[in-house]
Amino acid sequence: MVALPLRALTLRQLQCFSVLVEEGHFGRAARRLAITQPALSNAIKQMEKLLGAELLTRSTHRLELTPVGAEVLARTDFLVHTFEVALRDIESTVQRGQAYVRVGVIPSASARVAAAAADFLQQRGEVELAWRDAPSTVLLAELRSGQLDMAVAAITEPPGGLECIDLFRDPLVLVVRRDHALAAAGEARWEAIGSERLVLFESGSMPALGDPARAQFAQGAQPYRVSYSETLYALVRSGQALGLMPQLYTSSLRDPELAVVPLSAPRIERRVVLAYLPGPMRNVAAQELIGFLRERLPQA
């Protein structure tokens, strides 16, 4: 049973706390919430009084969460996001007669997921999908906070607090110039990289997968680290590096100057999973889409 004082907490107070932490400034948060600064300050004080704990430490220049405040914020954000999505659900249902489902996807898997989702919409109908593309770490964080219903993400270890369905494995490959000696080999061992410089993504699963393998097998200079595949391909095309990336990224590569070379000994893979929060789904359409993607994506 929830303590009686906590039952007096209002959604508006939770929204005030969430927005204030996000903005980090009373003035900006008050403007965004369309209230005065004294009203915002009072809402936070009332929330702290009901909880019996300090949520924020205030100084002249910044606000900082207390340890209790950080724990409360995670749950507050989940409630606030869930409420906002519920309003979108109601709006979508009333105005357009459609369910509303939020899907997150890593960019490298977007073609597969979009194609499968199109088939789902053709069969199911009456569903509005909202799309979010971002690195896996971002998608999983937004899933936990209630901003997404599901996410197709790449992982190297099980993410805490989420249900995961294994879809397929995505091995690391080399991208080389067509005139490079490795292009003719058809497959390369890690030792074949030798002293050549690599270029790889600086975020996502690559630091966890690529860095240990490079350190163990390759002897070249520290790799270039980039954010986008276009930059990676440009560095390979200019002869400055060999590209190291998940194979899924290369599915749309149509460049006569570049070749994709599978890496073996060892074969290093990332797990691509369909993740969602445990417990009851927010709506039936989200449940049905998870079941559809579970069956369709491993076959793609």
pLDDT at 160: 85
Q: Please provide the size of the chain in residues.
A: 300
pLDDT at 75: 82
d(CA 182, CA 13): 61
pLDDT at 42: 92
Beta bridge pairs of residue 173: 245, 262
**Main-chain phi, psi angles of 279, to 5 degrees:** 100, -175
d(CA 113, CA 193): 33
pLDDT at 128: 87
pLDDT at 212: 76
Low-confidence ranges of the chain (pLDDT < 50): none
d(CA 153, CA 136): 5
**Main-chain phi, psi angles of 92, to 5 degrees:** -65, -40
Which residue intervals of 97-205 are DSSP H helices?
A: 110-124, 136-144, 181-185
Read off the tokens for 263.
């890496």
Beta-strand ranges (E) seen in 91-234 are 99-105, 127-133, 150-155, 163-177, 188-189, 198-201, 224-226
d(CA 176, CA 193): 11
pTM for this structure?
0.71
- Spatial CB neighbours of 246, under 8 Å, sequence gap ≥ 6: 108, 154, 170, 171, 172, 173, 205, 206, 270
Could you tell me how far CA 73 lies from the centroid of its own chain?
Answer: 19
pLDDT at 110: 94
Q: How many CA atoms lie within 13 A of 131 on its CB side?
A: 11
Q: How many CA atoms lie within 13 A of 64 on its CB side?
A: 6
d(CA 38, CA 70): 23
Distance separating the N- and C-terminal Cα atoms of the chain: 47
β-strands 198-201, 242-246 pairing:
parallel
d(CA 241, CA 90): 52
